[in-house]
Structure 1
Amino acid sequence: MDIKINDIVGRRSYNCDLLFRVIDIQMIDGRKVAFLFGEDFRLVADAPYEDLVAINQTERQKITKEYRTLEEQSLKLFTQDVDLLRERQEYEVTGGYVKPSNYFQIPGKVLHLDGDPAYLKKCMALYEKIGVPVLGFHCNEKEMALKIGGLIDYYRPDILVITGHDAYSKAKGKMSDINAYRHSKHFVQTVKEARKKVPHLDQLVIFAGACQSHFESLIHAGANFASSPSRINIHALDPVYIVAKISFTPFMERINVWDVLRNTLTGAKGLGGIETRGVLRTGMPFNPIQDEN
């Protein structure tokens, strides 16, 4: 069976443990090589063409069933967290439910830059489902640093997501060498450019990174949260759960890092960060204008 660009495949040498989308096929040194993007994880890879196995829709559903279940569990836990935050806010604003519940809330605005248009679409659907105000842009990882300044000036976000695809290559260097990573240096430079615009860690909260990214460099560059402390793969939707938690946490509260990570699909091995303030703001009165007619 011929494998073409955009086909979903697995790798025989890895027992088809992960699903990939074929993004390019090239002849290199007389061999056919396929370039791959992870379908559920933010991983970029390449593989010999003959190592690929085409995955049909039925097989795909079987392989991804576990991931879909995890996504549903994470969303359920996150929704419970947000409901508790809202109940607590309502209790505090109304003085223990003594005063009228006449207030409004402004969650933090998110600017999401993604190196993969398919992942961006998935993330935007989840943001909408959760209720987070967001502006999303597809941008090649190598171009993010050039574009981030203008986007921050235009949108003035409270939270910034810088993500896409990444991978560590042992053949290119030690794990401590940022040049051994596919896109970590581009993410780092983008974080630095963003911090030139907004230096304060609580005025612009930044998540940066993808699968196997150089966590330490991203944090030192100015990210509040990043991947991947243990250089493992992270799920495509993990950045959404992290920034949504920040978006709905009141700005007077500091977020315990574990509270942010525990509802992600990857957890502390793939994601980490530093203590950060929430960005939700509450106001009153809530007084919607009624049409007289």
Structure 2
Amino acid sequence: MQIGDTVVRKSYGKDITFRIIDITENEKGKQYVIKGLNLRLIADSPEDDLEPVRESYNSEKDEIFNKRVNKAIKKIIATRDDGYRGEAVRMSKSSKITQSKELTFGRPGRILHVDGDAEYLDTCLKVYKQLNMDAVGRVVLEKDQPAQIVSMVKEVKPDIVVLTGHDAILKKIEDYSSLDSYKNSKYYVEAVKALREYESSYDELVIFAGACQSCYEKILDSGANFASSPNRVLIHCLDPVFVCEKIAYTNIEKIVQIQDVLENTITGIKGIGGLQTRGKYREGYPKSPYA
């Protein structure tokens, strides 16, 4: 087996598909560093626990995730006009001008997605584009995000910021409320605090932060609107995208209920949670004939 090969773990019932990203060696022999294709998971595995599979192979969980992703995307596209932009025709009380759908235009919220993993970011950017979202992506290691995030926000001027990558609960840990029990949660907390010092309003700057098994409570307490992971589970790489989509395309007149935000996420309430948040979509009227 070589770097780049697609594998599954026999001891876990071949439940998740991985790609080998590194090979090391210790007193126990070869150790393979593997990364989930869909879940934001990096793990170590001995050679005898891995089984190579074809690149197109999908485990049972992968099949479930793929179906959920496709269903969420189709639902978003099908319901966006009716659900997010209001009725197709309205009557203005002041001018009595009928606003038709053809003359109405809008601007969704802009997103800055900062990710510690280039492959996952690329996957997210493709779905942002598919959903017609204004998103800028930057690859920044988790430990470097606190120092760089404010300058990136000043440059990009987003309405919504995503801080994600990888995280994990350290082995033999009993205190799940301590940041010392997690691989990268402290960096997400520091980055969120830096953002809130720059912009304190939860409505002006919406923040999603966290990755797999992150310390959900501490990240929310530091100032995030949304965070992972309430039940310390693995999250899907596209969960932040679906959270952002709901906020970006909800009218600024509306407060989005957290249950509605989570409706299209892949891992649901076990993986993602947060606070009521105001939408970022602004309607305009009339549309220019030269646009």
Normalising by the residue count of structure 2, what TM-score does the alignment of the two structures yield?
0.91
**Is 1:72 equivalent to 2:51 in the alignment?**
no
**Is 1:227 equivalent to 2:228 in the alignment?**
yes
* Post-superposition offset of 1:265: 1.0
The Cα offsets for residues 100-150 of structure 1, whole Å up to 9 and x where unpaired, read as 542321110000011111111111111011111010111111111121111
Structure 1 residues 218, 92: CA separation in 2 closer, same or farther (over 3 Å shift)? Answer: farther
**Is 1:187 equivalent to 2:185 in the alignment?**
no
Q: Matches of 2:86 and 2:152 in 1, distance apart?
A: 34
* Post-superposition offset of 1:161: 0.6
2:250 alignment partner AA: T
Q: Matches of 1:86 and 1:184 in 2, distance apart?
A: 33
Structure 1 residues 280, 93: CA separation in 2 closer, same or farther (over 3 Å shift)? Answer: farther
**Is 1:16 equivalent to 2:14 in the alignment?**
yes
1:239 alignment partner AA: P
Q: Matches of 2:97 and 2:13 in 1, distance apart?
A: 57
Gaps of 5+ in 1: none
**Is 1:239 equivalent to 2:237 in the alignment?**
no
Contact 2:202 2:225 in 1 (8 A): yes
**Is 1:171 equivalent to 2:133 in the alignment?**
no
* Post-superposition offset of 1:11: 1.4
Find the partner of 1:52 among 44, 50, 53.
50
Q: Matches of 1:179 and 1:5 in 2, distance apart?
A: 31
Q: Matches of 1:22 and 1:93 in 2, distance apart?
A: 58
Normalising by the residue count of structure 1, what TM-score does the alignment of the two structures yield?
0.91
Gaps of 5+ in 2: none
Contact 1:37 1:45 in 2 (8 A): yes
**Is 1:108 equivalent to 2:109 in the alignment?**
yes
Q: Matches of 1:180 and 1:28 in 2, distance apart?
A: 25
Write out aligned runs for 1:82-93 (5 A): 82-88=80-86, 90-92=88-90
Q: Matches of 1:93 and 1:218 in 2, distance apart?
A: 43
Q: SS at the partner of 1:269?
A: helix
1:12 alignment partner AA: K
Q: Matches of 1:164 and 1:109 in 2, distance apart?
A: 20
- The farther-off stretch of 139-148 and 45-54 is 45-54
- The farther-off stretch of 139-148 and 240-249 is 139-148
Find the partner of 1:37 among 6, 12, 35.
35
Structure 1 residues 8, 63: CA separation in 2 closer, same or farther (over 3 Å shift)? Answer: farther
- The farther-off stretch of 191-200 and 29-38 is 29-38
**Is 1:98 equivalent to 2:98 in the alignment?**
yes
Q: 1:256 is matched with which residue? A: 257
**Is 1:134 equivalent to 2:132 in the alignment?**
no
2:105 alignment partner AA: F
1:106 alignment partner AA: R
Q: Matches of 1:107 and 1:202 in 2, distance apart?
A: 14
Q: Matches of 2:271 and 2:100 in 1, distance apart?
A: 44
Q: Matches of 1:92 and 1:28 in 2, distance apart?
A: 69
Contact 1:108 1:248 in 2 (8 A): yes
The Cα offsets for residues 4-46 of structure 1, whole Å up to 9 and x where unpaired, read as 2222221121111111222222123453222222111112222
Structure 1 residues 109, 60: CA separation in 2 closer, same or farther (over 3 Å shift)? Answer: same
Q: 1:205 is matched with which residue? A: 206
Q: Matches of 2:289 and 2:36 in 1, distance apart?
A: 46
Between the aligned residues of both structures, percent identity stands at 36
2:42 alignment partner AA: V
The Cα offsets for residues 159-198 of structure 1, whole Å up to 9 and x where unpaired, read as 0011111111342442222222121111111111121221
